[in-house]
């Protein structure tokens, strides 16, 4: 088990000016543990390179914000990459986040 310290991205509607709301990603800093660390390449027929997929689990200490925004958690920034959250296990006082492939935020790199 290794330590985790990084950002978690929450998708929510944010008021950008009075009465004007827009969907945005809000990142919050969390600490916890990486409890499972598995990596694998998934060959894709139409691509030259395989997609990297992980099945890591990150256990964080929950707080009122994460508790009230469970359905908004989209990704975890870990090892410099945004990883999609594919599952959430509530085990008070912790949230255990299962990670999958690289998070696609719709922006070209």
Number of structural domains (the chain) is 1
Domain-embedded: residue 109: no
107: in domain: no
Alpha carbons 100 and 98: distance in angstroms, whole number: 7
Report the candidate in 38, 59, 40, 64 with the shortest Cα–Cα distance to residue 50: 40
For CA atoms 87, 104, 44, 55, the dihedral sign is negative
List the CATH number of the domain containing 97.
2.40.10
CA dist 29 and 6 (Å) reads 6
Q: Name the strand (E) or helix (H) holding 62.
A: none
Is residue 18 a part of any domain in this protein? Answer: yes
pLDDT tens series, the chain, 109 aa: 789 999 999 999 989 999 999 999 999 999 999 987 666 565 556 655 556 677 789 999 999 999 999 999 999 998 899 999 999 999 999 999 999 888 987 665 4
Say what the pTM is.
0.80
Report pLDDT digits (tens) over 57-77. Answer: 999 999 999 999 999 999 999
User: What range defines the domain where residue 48 resides?
Assistant: 2-102
What is the chain's percent helix, strand, coil content, to nearest 5? 5, 65, 25
Q: Please indicate, yes or no, if residue 60 is contained in any of the structural domains.
A: yes
């Amino acid at each position: 088990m290794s330590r985790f310290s990084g950002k978690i991205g929450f998708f929510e509607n944010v008021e950008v000016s009075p009465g004007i709301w827009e969907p945005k990603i809000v990142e919050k800093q969390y600490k916890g543990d990486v409890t499972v660390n598995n990596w694998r390449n998934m060959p894709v027929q139409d691509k030259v390179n395989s997609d990297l997929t992980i099945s890591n689990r990150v256990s964080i200490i929950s707080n009122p914000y994460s508790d009230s925004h469970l359905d908004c958690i989209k990704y975890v920034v870990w090892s410099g990459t945004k990883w999609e959250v594919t599952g959430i296990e509530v085990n008070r006082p912790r949230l255990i986040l299962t990670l999958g492939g690289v998070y696609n935020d719709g922006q070209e790199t």
